[in-house]
Amino acid sequence: MQCSKCSRKAVTYIRYNGKYLCKQHFMEFVERRIKKEIRKQGLPKGTIAVALSGGKDSSIAAYMLNEILKEHRERKLVAITIDEGIKGYRDKTIEIAKKFCEEHEIEHHIFSFKDFIGFTMDEISKKRGNIAECTYCGVFRRYVLNKVARKMNVKAIVLGHNLDDVAQTILMNFIRNDLRRLARMAPHRHIQPGLIPRLLPLIEIPEKETTLYALLKGFEIYEGACPYSVRAMRGEYRNILFMLEEKHPGTRHAILNSYRGIEDCLAKKFPPAKLQPCKICGEPSSQPVCMACQLREKLKVSP
Ligand code: SF4
Ligand SMILES: [Zn+2]
Ligand SMILES: [Zn+2]
């Protein structure tokens, strides 16, 4: 098929807008929306950190930020990788992240769960009780990332979440009736003392497009999946959304736009919780003991 914008051969068909796009027009289509999102969400001056897992999405976020910040002397880009300690998975993506940063001359810092939490995810998996690995992993990753970013005087953390990830999270929070969590979703518009705001420049880009973009750019893509993702509830929401998008192209965008339409009401109904220093670790928390310390204490007493 021919590109809807020029005479070149199309590399993809975008179902939700009915357009065929060649390589150049597809890449421009992706980059334009990422740049627009960055402008909309706002980049503070100072150090910006990309949370780089070595996966395709965070690599795209790092690549785009690096390109944009080349023209901004008052902003510096660093990449932070969290090593959760998942043998056969994270060690592979960390190697990709290292190579990526070398190639693109991005300052790279790696921090591990073992150093900050005391356990690797592989150790946690054996002690987890009836709590799924992803619950520990998500809480600890946010905790370590925020703590190290604050120490590095980072002004914003950039995450590689794509449209599919965000639509899944919105749906999940609705179905679980977790409106507080829905109100606290990134990108953050209110700066809370001690919490580094998060930006999501890929929020409008569907997963299929981030995969194609990474392939066309020649980024190394690791095909494997985390061994613990089988227990993640997110998989069910991925399947539901896939089915809906197949039948009704544009569903994921509609979910995101519906959320954006009620964001202000949610923020009014659930204003940010007053934070206090955690009694154990001193990190900002909405409860006397932060979630990370609560989970860590559970692990310490678990056989
Ligand atoms: S799938 Fe779960 S355990 Fe694996 S890296 Fe992601 S959040 Fe962590
Ligand atoms: Zn074209
Ligand atoms: Zn704590």
Residue 71 has pLDDT above 90, yes or no: no
Averaged pLDDT for residues 150-163 = 97
- Band (pLDDT 50/70/90 cuts) for residue 77 is very high
Q: What pLDDT score does 288 carry?
A: 97
For the chain, how many structural domains are there in total? Answer: 1
* CA distances (Å), origin 188, targets 28, 144, 156, 183, 204: 26, 18, 10, 10, 16
Q: What pLDDT score does 58 carry?
A: 97
3-state helix, strand, coil in the chain (%, to 5): 50, 15, 35
Residue 163 belongs to some domain of the structure? yes
Residue 285 belongs to some domain of the structure? no
3-state secondary structure 169-212: HHHHHHHCCCHHHHHCCCCCCCCCCCCCCEECCCCCCCHHHHHH
Structure tokens at 298: 């559970």
Q: What is the CATH number of the domain that holds 202?
A: 3.40.50.620
Residue 97 has pLDDT above 90, yes or no: yes
C-alpha of residue 137 to centroid of ligand 1, in Å: 6
Percent of the chain scored above 90 by pLDDT?
87
Averaged pLDDT for residues 294-303 = 88
Domain span at residue 41?
32-273
Q: Which of 57, 119, 131, 229, when mutated, tests ligand 1's pocket best, judged by the most ligand atoms within 8 Å of its CB?
A: 229
Q: What pLDDT score does 130 carry?
A: 87
Residue 269 belongs to some domain of the structure? yes
Neighbouring residues of 249: CB distance < 8 A, sequence distance ≥ 6: 15, 16
Rounded CA-CA distance 80/1 in Å is 41
Residue 303 has pLDDT above 80, yes or no: no
Question: What is the four-CA torsion angle of 260, 265, 269, 275, rounded to 10 degrees?
Answer: 50
Rounded CA-CA distance 109/12 in Å is 36
Across 18-27, 63-72, 100-109, 284-293, least confident range = 63-72
Q: What is the pLDDT of residues 183-220, one digit of tens each?
A: 999 888 778 889 999 999 999 999 999 999 999 999 99
Residue 101 belongs to some domain of the structure? yes
8 A C-beta contact, residue 180 and residue 73: no
Residue 26 belongs to some domain of the structure? no
Q: What pLDDT score does 42 carry?
A: 92
Q: What residues are neighbours of ligand 3 (ion), with CB under 5 Å?
A: 278, 280-281, 290, 293
Residue 105 has pLDDT above 80, yes or no: yes
Residue 184 belongs to some domain of the structure? yes
Q: Which residues line ligand 1 (CB under 6 A)?
A: 84, 121, 133-134, 137-138, 226, 228-229, 232
Residue 178 has pLDDT above 90, yes or no: yes
Residue 188 belongs to some domain of the structure? yes
Percent of the chain scored above 70 by pLDDT?
100
C-alpha of residue 78 to centroid of ligand 1, in Å: 23
Residue nearest to atom 4 of ligand 1 (CA): 226
8 A C-beta contact, residue 42 and residue 13: no
- Residue matched to tokens 């997110």: 234
C-alpha of residue 271 to centroid of ligand 1, in Å: 29
> What is the maximum span of the chain, computed from C-alpha positions, in angstroms?
66
Residue 279 belongs to some domain of the structure? no
Q: What pLDDT score does 89 carry?
A: 96
Q: What pLDDT score does 15 carry?
A: 94
Q: Structure pTM?
A: 0.94
Q: What pLDDT score does 302 carry?
A: 76
